[in-house]
Amino acid sequence: GTSYDIAGTLAKPAKPPSGAKALLIETQASDDVKPLALERGLAVLTLDVAKLPDKARAPALRDVLGHLRGALKIKRVLGRAQGSDADAMSDAASAFDGLLLHDASREPTPPTRFFASWGADAYWREKPRIEFANGAPPNGRRFYLAGIAFSTTATNCVAPVNARPSAPALRALFAALDEWTAKGAAPPASRAPLDVDLSPAQDLKWPKIPALPAPPEGARRVPKIDSDGNEVPGLRLPDLALPIATFTGFNTQKDKKGPLCGAGAAIPFAAKKVDREKNADSRSALVERYGSRAYFVATMRVIADKLVKERLMLQQDADAYVSAARTAPF
């Protein structure tokens, strides 16, 4: 048979230390989903398929997983990947029971179950995302992580970098996918833009925001925004549903001779009305919109707990949002 040079490290969960009946395959080691998978009793294996040519990745995954199922007596295999690796997993869907895919350009065929996610940067990059014509098929769900840009480490940017984490959403989605494939528990409904939720980028009515980077040029359809400039459709995590800033999927390169800025931007709200008026900021100040920190914290609890009830957030992440709200800058 064909030999594939794939780097793999099997991390055994604490309970049970051996004999796990379910396996999570990642193409890059993660610090968000992997700990949860181990906690839920899955074994975790990282397969670095990026070393292979694109056309060889899906065959390699099918080959390796075929051997692993027999050798480890694995009954259920889940996969997690993004970008071109996610496309490879989608092409190798028959080898998996469930897939958590980020920013994939194609989706698995039935019966493999899947969750597809993407963030704001997908619409604003040089080659913007093209929406699927119809809703998600019965074997899948789609989740747009509104106001989240997955590149959070860029340095050569004009505006402060949008560092909102995707991990809380991905952990909840993984838990739901695990339960869907293991127990048949109905998954949460899709939270993704429909055609009516998108607008030509040039038609967006931006509020007056000091230091807002110029949106990228070029024809594209993007999610509609509210009076703060924040995205409306999709899965709105608590820090977007109750924002303290405007979060975008684009930014601007600071030094034109330096590296590209592939991150989004985060433009904070003013603390008080006098501050925003001084800067010609049309967005309500923190005190104007929330009044007191006590109100802000209590409302954050309501929003976070609702997402927990909808199985779109884990309780520990909901508690973390509430704790962070207690240190809000007003």
The pLDDT of residue 199 is 95
Q: b/e per residue, 92-110, with b = 16+ CB within 10 A?
A: bbebbbbbbbbbbeebbee
**Helical H runs in the chain?**
33-39, 54-72, 83-91, 121-124, 167-183, 238-241, 273-278, 286-290, 293-309, 315-325
- 3-class secondary-structure state, position 64: helix
Q: How many domains does the chain have?
A: 1
In a domain? residue 62: yes
How far is it, in rounded angstroms, from Cα 259 to Cα 56? 31
The pLDDT of residue 6 is 46
The pLDDT of residue 315 is 99
In a domain? residue 250: no
In a domain? residue 313: no
Residue 272 tokens read as 């008080």
All residue ranges of the chain with pLDDT < 50 are 1-17
In a domain? residue 330: no
The pLDDT of residue 4 is 36
In a domain? residue 205: no
In a domain? residue 61: yes
CATH label of the domain that carries residue 20: 3.40.50.1820
The pLDDT of residue 18 is 53
The pLDDT of residue 151 is 78
The pLDDT of residue 316 is 98
- The model's pTM is 0.92
In a domain? residue 264: no
In a domain? residue 278: no
Note down the domain range covering 24.
Answer: 8-151+162-183
